[in-house]
Amino acid sequence: MERRDVASWLQGPRQTLEDQGYDFGYKGERLGLPESGPGSVAPIGRRLVALMIDWFASMLVARLLFGRDGADIALETLGVFALMTFVLIMFGGSTFGQRIMGVRVIALTGAPLAPLQTAIRTGLLCLFVPAVVWDRDQRGLHDRAARSVAVRYR
């Protein structure tokens, strides 16, 4: 066993393949997006903060609409989150949190999402697992299924 064997395990498969001469390029290159700045793939950190802002906003609205003396409103919160996400992405391209973090969601063609694409993306986002499994362009399974991408707009 050599140091190289242990290092490849610690660094991950991407680093090992890059050391062997494979060129993966930058995130979004395969999609025709710029490497940085407006129009580039939105970083995971921005998208996670945006998701947390949207979830807390949904919790607040659900508590105001459905909350009663400590009642569990988890499903109501998920419903508010789904409705809010669908409507705001459909008509504005981004949710409250995404707007604050400078992220918007577009189709791979660069156009706004169609209603079916938005519904697919929102439904899979609500399942959570598809959103945390992503490809080398940092697109979650929900974005791949909807043929969309989250990009920076500033």
Distance CA 54, CA 57 (A): 5
* Structural domain includes residue 5: no
How confident is the model at residue 142, as a pLDDT? 94
What backbone phi and psi angles, to 5 degrees, belong to 107?
A: -75, 160
Three-state secondary structure call for residue 137 = coil
- Is residue 38 one of the residues assigned to a domain? yes
Higher pLDDT, 136 or 144: 144
How many domains would you assign to the chain? Answer: 1
Asked if residue 69 belongs to a domain, the reply is yes
Q: What's the rounded Cα separation, in Å, for the pair 152 and 131? A: 18
pLDDT band at residue 131 under the 50/70/90 scheme: confident
Residue 14 lies in a domain: no
pLDDT at 7 (0 to 100): 58
User: Mind listing the pLDDT tens digit for each residue in 58-105?
Assistant: 999 999 999 877 778 999 999 999 999 999 999 999 999 999 999 999
* Mean pLDDT estimate for the chain: 89
What is the span of the domain harbouring residue 143? 27-152
Query: Is 32 a member of any domain?
Result: yes
Q: Identify the pLDDT of residue 130.
A: 86
